[in-house]
Amino acid sequence: MTSVALLMAAGSGSRFGADRPKQYLSLAGRPVLRHAAEALLRDGGVDAILPVCASDSLAMVAAILEGLPTLPPVVGGATRQASVRAGLEALAGDPPALVLVHDGARPVVPPGTVPALLAALERHPGAIPAQPVTDTLKRGEAGLIQATVPRAGLFRAQTPQAFRFAPLLAAHRTATAEATDDAQLLEAAGLAVALLPGHEQNIKITWPEDLARMEAALTPPLLPRIGTGFDVHRLVAGRPMVLCGVTIPGPMGLDGHSDADVGLHALCDAIYGALAEGDIGRWFPPSEAQWKDADSARFLRHAAGRIAARGGVLANADVTLICERPKITPHATAMRERLAALLEVPLDRISVKATTTERLGFPGRGEGIAAQAAVCLLVPT
């Protein structure tokens, strides 16, 4: 093996103050540590990851990293330096040529970072990513400024930090003082460590607000998706009149394979259209006997399920019923309530309204009822 990455996860996250160490908290649905491991491996160049963690977390860490090229986890120490040393000693019997040391609490390793670090090791025994300090620096005490510290030539060190294995192990074995990163030990040994460009997204999660910032950065933006639907059913005697999930008593009803709820069908088609998932006939073919006289509410629940399956939400829906009779206004609130309940959204996201065609055409002659619907969904890109 030519390069191994130590993934540091033996800290307790005392500044973060959660019920678990921060590297095990969920970020965009997966543990922070899993993000860090995948990010390390993404560009290639790392043959295996060696996790370093607390003794009571060995099985959990192995489970979190399942499926990735990992070596069995090693137990860390009381300080970060002691933990890195434990990882290096575990490799010393069959040493890799190169080693990277990465904080398990840094879930983002920007693309290109690992290849650039490994390339720099051809010229130097160590290389790290670092960001130039851009704020004015103050030294303070008891809430008062003591001095302004010149910031020229100052950098904020990040990880992964990359080293030739032998000098890093030697530096750890001979260290006399506690270092907050590994480059410091090579510096103390008088060895050159290259400074490569770091990245603002490479945040070490230290405080709760860091995790919140990362969550916002990793959550895919929601894309508005518009859909429209249109449907017509014939008016006949002796059939129920179900419109937008509400049954309206009377001698005439709508003809169709299902309960012929024309408004609800238009709404389903608008949703399927917004998702580019066909139409109601694709999901519930009229050729299938099981949908005969079916309550169309189940179609709308299915459409709502498709929105949820895509991780989306319904921003709003607007249904227009086109008929002379029945008069819709007395029923509009009940229809909105029924649709909102089926879609599990607040009432103010649903509109139901009606129009006539001034007695023109088939709706005007009372031969049928038409409905059109428009929806706006917000769906992750």
Ligand X SMILES: C[C@](O)(CO)[C@H](O)COP(=O)(O)O
Ligand Y SMILES: Nc1ccn([C@@H]2O[C@H](COP(=O)(O)OP(=O)(O)OP(=O)(O)O)[C@@H](O)[C@H]2O)c(=O)n1
Buried b (16+ CB within 10 A) or exposed e, 169-183: bebbeebeeebebbb
Selection from ligand X, ligand Y, none that 157 binds (CB < 5 to 8 A by kind) is: ligand X
Which amino acid is it at 206?
A: T
Residues 244 and 339: beta-carbon distance below 8 Å: yes
Region for 132 from its dihedrals, namely left if φ exceeds 0, alpha if ψ lies in -120 to 50, beta otherwise = beta
Looking only at residues 41 through 70 of this chain, which bind ligand X when binding is defined by CB under 6 A?
A: none
Binding residue for ligand X, selected from 180, 219, 333, 355, defined by CB under 6 A: 180
Q: Residue 76 interacts with ligand Y (CB under 6 A)?
A: yes
Binding residue for ligand X, selected from 57, 159, 258, 320, defined by CB under 6 A: 159
Q: Give the nearest distance from C-beta 200 to ligand Y in angstroms.
A: 18
Selection from ligand Y, ligand X, none that 261 binds (CB < 5 to 8 A by kind) is: none
Looking only at residues 93 through 112 of this chain, which bind ligand X when binding is defined by CB under 6 A?
A: 103
Task: Establish whether 255 is an annotated binding residue.
Answer: no
Q: CA-CA distance, 27 to 319, in Å (whole number)?
A: 38
**Computed from CA positions of residues 212, 216, 217, 219, in that sequence, does the dihedral angle turn out positive or negative?**
positive
Task: Establish whether 265 is an annotated binding residue.
Answer: yes
Q: Residue 158 interacts with ligand X (CB under 6 A)?
A: yes
Q: Give the nearest distance from C-beta 210 to ligand Y in angstroms.
A: 10
Binding residue for ligand X, selected from 6, 110, 181, 266, defined by CB under 6 A: 181
Q: Give the nearest distance from C-beta 23 to ligand X in angstroms.
A: 12
Residues 43 and 111: beta-carbon distance below 8 Å: yes
Q: Give the nearest distance from C-beta 84 to ligand Y in angstroms.
A: 7
Which residue's structure tokens are 């769906």?
A: 379
Closest CB to ligand Y belongs to which residue? 11
Choose the stretch contacting ligand Y; rule: CB under 6 A; options: 75-83, 122-130, 208-216, 236-244: 75-83
Which amino acid is it at 41?
A: L
Q: Which is nearer to ligand Y, 8 or 179 (CB)?
A: 8
SS3 193: strand
Q: Residue 83 interacts with ligand Y (CB under 6 A)?
A: yes
Q: What is the dihedral of CA 164, 167, 172, 173, to 10 degrees?
A: 140
Selection from ligand Y, ligand X, none that 158 binds (CB < 5 to 8 A by kind) is: ligand X
Residues 233 and 255: beta-carbon distance below 8 Å: yes
Looking only at residues 206 through 235 of this chain, which bind ligand X when binding is defined by CB under 6 A?
A: 206
Selection from ligand Y, ligand X, none that 319 binds (CB < 5 to 8 A by kind) is: none
Binding residue for ligand Y, selected from 105, 304, 343, 377, defined by CB under 6 A: 105
Q: CA-CA distance, 22 to 54, in Å (whole number)?
A: 13
Paired residues of 102 in beta bridges = 7
SS3 37: helix
Q: CA-CA distance, 22 to 66, in Å (whole number)?
A: 19
- Cβ neighbours around 115 below 10 Å, total: 12
Q: What is the DSSP letter of 19?
A: S
Q: Give the nearest distance from C-beta 106 to ligand X in angstroms.
A: 7
Q: Residue 174 interacts with ligand Y (CB under 6 A)?
A: no
Which chain residues interact with ligand X by CB under 6 A? 80, 103, 157-159, 180-181, 204, 206
Which chain residues interact with ligand Y by CB under 6 A? 8-16, 21, 23, 52, 76-80, 83, 103-105, 204, 206
